[in-house]
Structure 1
Amino acid sequence: MDERTYTADAEPGEDVTIKGWVHEIRDLGGIAFIIVRDTTGKIQVKFEKDEMDDDLVETGLDVHRESVVAVTGAVEQEERAPTGVEIVPESVKVIAEADPELPLDPSGKVDAELSTRLDNRTLDLRKPAVQAVFEIRAEVLRSVREAFRSVDATEINTPKIVATGTEGGTELFPITYFGREAFMNQSPQLFKQLMVGSGLERVFEIGPIFRAEEHNTPRHLNEATSIDFESAFFDDGDAMDVCEHVVKSAYEGVAENCGAQLEALGIEDDFEVPDGEFERLTYEEAIERINATGELDEPLVWGDDLSTEAEHALGQAVGEHYFITDWPSEIKPFYIKDRDDDPEVSTGFDMMHPSMELVSGGQREHRYDQLVAGFEQQGLDPEAFEYYTKMFKYGMPPHAGWGLGAERLVMTMLGLENIREAVIFPRDRQRLSP
């Protein structure tokens, strides 16, 4: 076991060994300091040159920033030190020397372009604000899992290599699979539906999805993390209830457990947990409100999808999370069930942040004949999906669910300007490495 002391645990009067990175070096003549950083914070190490061995001073002050060191010494109280204590070293060992020419400044004093940061992500993550994003992301996923468990959902893992796409052959990444063509899965949609017919009834998954979209925007990725839910004997309203519960739980978990991280990002005073029920607008009501804003060059009509500009106009009008329900059947996927009293209207819904869409969901078509007809209406070959459709012959219950983009949730929660800031190693049209 590592017997080091973390910087946050160093107390006056103790002899400790700390290990971490050289964050800063300050040489003031007769006295000098290095600041050592580890996962818990920073601590000052003091060198009084005239009173210390020359080799010890030389080792401590010749080291380059971001080198990994081990410092052994006595902890003393020092009110002028950044954390109120400092270490007087007995030994300094350089574990891993850093190149003096760093591609970016991990202290954050000098800004770097996002592309430079992503090219050097390991260094970038040494900044407290960047690290805070991923600590918060971890808390979001933990809270989401707890929220699903609170509604008795079982976690599943579905294949990411598939023979057919969720919505046909568009936007798929093809791969060679033992001499056959296969694809990276766009969504766990079909598999999670099969699971609700298996007897598990209520399931969730958090996993990667792959979309060969040629977007190059601050809110699109080609590999993303999807938070998915599906439940037997649910309708679209039930699914929206769980969606709202999960999103609120994510915010509550961050508010309760990530105070230091919110402070590192400078948003601790602005962070708010959504309060009250999310407004539910029908698609028809949504386009009426969008048109009433006067923000679009051309008014929307029934059957139009919502552009980015339309989403922004409505988001500004609503001002908080909300749902859009009762979408036209023709613009929703084949597996979304139509309203029993109006086949032109689907049970599909989207859940929106004021700045963008976060969730797509709805009640699913569970009747075999209607499901196959839906394939044909959208120009898809039902036989290519026989593994899926045939199970609807054997007692598939009514069911509903949704998919939520994890990166978009984190991005909107923290007010990040680019979705790539919510991914450690993002994949987009240009970026395949690191």
Structure 2
Amino acid sequence: MRDRTYTADAKPGETVTVAGWVHETRDLGGIAFLILRDTTGKIQVKFEKDEMDDDLVETGLGVHRESVIAVTGDVAEEPRAPTGVEITPESLDVIAEADAQLPLDPSGKVDAELSTRLDNRTLDLRKEEVKAIFEIRAEVLNAVRNKFRELTATEINTPKIVATGTEGGTELFPITYFGKEAFMNQSPQLFKQLMVGSGLERVFEIGPIFRAEEHNTPRHLNEATSIDFESAFIDHTEAMDVCEAVVKAAYEAVEENCQEQLEALDLADEFEAPEGDFPRLTYEEAIQRINATGKLDEQLVWGDDLPTEGEKALGEDVGEHYFITDWPSEIKPFYIKDNDDDETLSTGFDMMHPTMELVSGGQREHRYDNLITGFEQQGLDPDAFEYYTKMFKYGMPPHAGFGLGGERLIMTMLGLGNIREAVLFPRDRQRLSP
């Protein structure tokens, strides 16, 4: 609509046409009100029944909630109206009538189960607080891109249909690809490593990853958004520096540009971007601190992965974002480089929010012979990854990087109870539609 005015831009003394959804109507006898909602907010439409055409009043008060309408009329100041102004309509057109019975209440006055909300995501996003999550998500991704570009990284897009998995045959979604077996990619890891050996050297990608995990928890998805970075000629400590800078940039952008959305989520007063350096604990220090909390039934020993309960106990103890470094080599993927001074330790790291893991990263093994040995030690066939391994014969520089879970970043940033709230149309074990 070329002559449309957003509700937030309607000023007293103007004649405007606004268009949006019927949020609610209130009939007070001789006078009635319709609240129209668009993406910028709400505006009150006033019907003075004795002074208006009967058909106009009947149409305005008879239209169902969530119908799409266009209203043309004069804007006047009205302090008692929700936004301080109201429209006296000259005309009202019903563009798309909504059913009288809705599967959920977009006004938010009646709560709905998460499954019902996800089944009716379009309606769900008409709620201010839900829309705010995705406006913040967009701001986060924009800030992340800007920080990577500031750090001279080139954005890339890698294949999502692959011949082999990043970490072998587990947790893979198989597909048929012109009569051949193929898989949905678990990670851009191998491809982004190949790019640091090219003329690009420093790259990032924001894109989907697919993992056929059996987990059905509030923090797991089968299709997720991964924020990946890889750079030549840096080590794992420098990769952690980049990781920390990117996470801080995301928080700072939300704090600066999303106050309205934070208010919709009741977070404006408590939201703060992290300050200071994130603590860096070694794996050994981490298990010692977890054991010292006394919150696990059994003490952790060297080589154990950290259970969810252990992560939670450590997060409560640390109380802020932090890194875990110097993981045992045996529990990190084949492409993670061992520590030069102690081969039992890897250069792998995880970055943690107090409530969960957000990032996995490290320095990569860039020497061909060592890489092949790593494959064999983890029971993988190097020949299946020849497209990847052969490039390490042609001059692969030292390099490091990380993968950051986009939804987990949003979930922890906003304190969401379920990761599916940070995804428009989640994919998990039960949900393939919408």
* Bin for the TM-score computed over the shorter chain: over 0.9
Instruction: Find the counterpart in structure 2 of residue 341 from structure 1.
Output: 341
- Alignment-derived partner of residue 215 in structure 1: 215
Query: Residue 314 of structure 1: SS of its match in structure 2?
Result: helix
| Amino acid corresponding to residue 379 of structure 1 in structure 2 | G
Are residues 1:82 and 2:82 paired?
yes
Hey, what does 1:181 align to over in structure 2?
181
1:347-380 alpha-carbon deviations (Å, 9 max, x no partner): 0000000000000000000000000000000000
CA-to-aligned-CA distance 1:319-359 (integer Å, 9 cap, x gap): 00000000000000000000111111000000000000000
Q: Structure 2 CA distance, aligned partners of 1:84 and 1:136?
A: 26
Structure 2 residue aligned with 1:59 = 59
Could you list the per-position Cα deviations for residues 225-247 of structure 1 after superposition, in whole angstroms to 9, with x for gaps in the alignment?
00000000110000000000000
Q: Supply the AA of the counterpart residue of 1:424.
A: L
Alignment of 1:12-411 (within 5 A): 12-411=12-411
Residue deviations 1:289-341 (CA, integer Å, cap 9, x gap):
00000000110000000000000000000000000000000000000000111
CA distance in 1, matches of 2:244, 2:76: 50
Superposed CA deviations along residues 377-409 of structure 1, whole A, max 9, x for unmatched, are 000000000000000000000000000000000
Cα offset, 1:150, TM superposition:
1.0
User: 5+ unaligned residues in a row in structure 1: which ranges?
Assistant: none
75-84 vs 401-410, greater mean Cα deviation: 75-84
Question: Match of 2:430, as an amino acid?
Answer: Q
Give the distance between the partners of 1:64 and 1:199, measured in 2 at CA: 59
**SS of alignment partner, residue 345 of structure 1:** coil
SS at match of 1:248: helix
Deviation of the 1:77 alpha carbon: 1.0
SS at 1:338 equivalent? coil
Question: Once superposed, what is the RMSD of the aligned Cα atoms?
Answer: 0.5
User: C-alpha separation between the residues in 2 aligned to 1:82 and 1:411?
Assistant: 31
Distance 1:273 1:340 in 2: 35
For 1:189 and 1:83, the matched residues in 2 are separated by: 50
Distance, in Å, in 2 between the alignment partners of 1:298 and 1:38 is 55
Deviations 1:18-65 (Å, cap 9, x if unpaired)? 000000010011110000000100000000111110000011010000
CA drift at 1:3? 1.5
Cα deviations by residue, 1:192-231 (Å, 9 ceiling, x for unpaired): 0000001211000000000000100000000000000000
Opposite residue 123 of structure 1, the aligned amino acid is L
Letter in 2 for 1:207: G
CA distance in 2, matches of 1:334, 1:78: 67
SS in 2 for 1:413: helix
Query: How many angstroms apart in 2 are the aligned matches of 1:79 and 1:308?
Result: 52
Q: Aligned-pair distance for 1:2?
A: 2.1
Q: Deviations over 1:149-172 (max 9, x none)?
A: 111000000000000000000000
Hey, what's the Cα distance between the residues in 2 that align with 1:103 and 1:430?
20
Indicate the SS of the match to 1:59.
helix
Residue correspondences, number: 434
- Counterpart code for 1:298: E
Distance 2:424 2:229 in 1: 24
What CA distance in whole angstroms lies between the structure 2 residues aligned with 1:114 and 1:237?
A: 40
How far apart, CA to CA, are the structure 1 residues paired with 2:433 and 2:82? 37
- What does residue 417 of structure 2 align with? 417
Percentage of matched positions with identical amino acids: 83
How many Å separate the matches in 2 of 1:140 and 1:42? 26
Equivalents in 2 of 1:3, 1:404: separation in Å?
43
What secondary structure, in the 3-state scheme, does the structure 1 residue paired with 2:361 have? strand
Name the aligned partner's letter for residue 40 of structure 1. T
2:336 match: secondary structure: coil
Q: Distance in 2 between matches of 1:227 and 1:362?
A: 15
Distance in 1 (alpha carbons) for counterparts of 2:199 and 2:135? 35
Distance in 2 separating the partners of 1:21 and 1:119: 20
Which residues of structure 2 form unaligned runs of 5+? none
d(CA) in 2 for partners of 1:2 and 1:250? Answer: 35
- The residue type equivalent to 1:384 in the other structure is A
Amino acid at match of 1:58: E
SS of 2:221's partner is coil
By how many angstroms is 1:176 displaced? 0.5
List structure 1 segments (4+ residues) > 4 angstroms apart after TM superposition. none
TM-score, normalised with respect to structure 1: 1.00
The letter for the 2-side match of 1:400 is A
Distance in structure 1 (CA, Å) of the matches to 2:414 and 2:197: 37
Give the CA deviation at 1:255: 0.4
Match of 1:10 in 2: 10
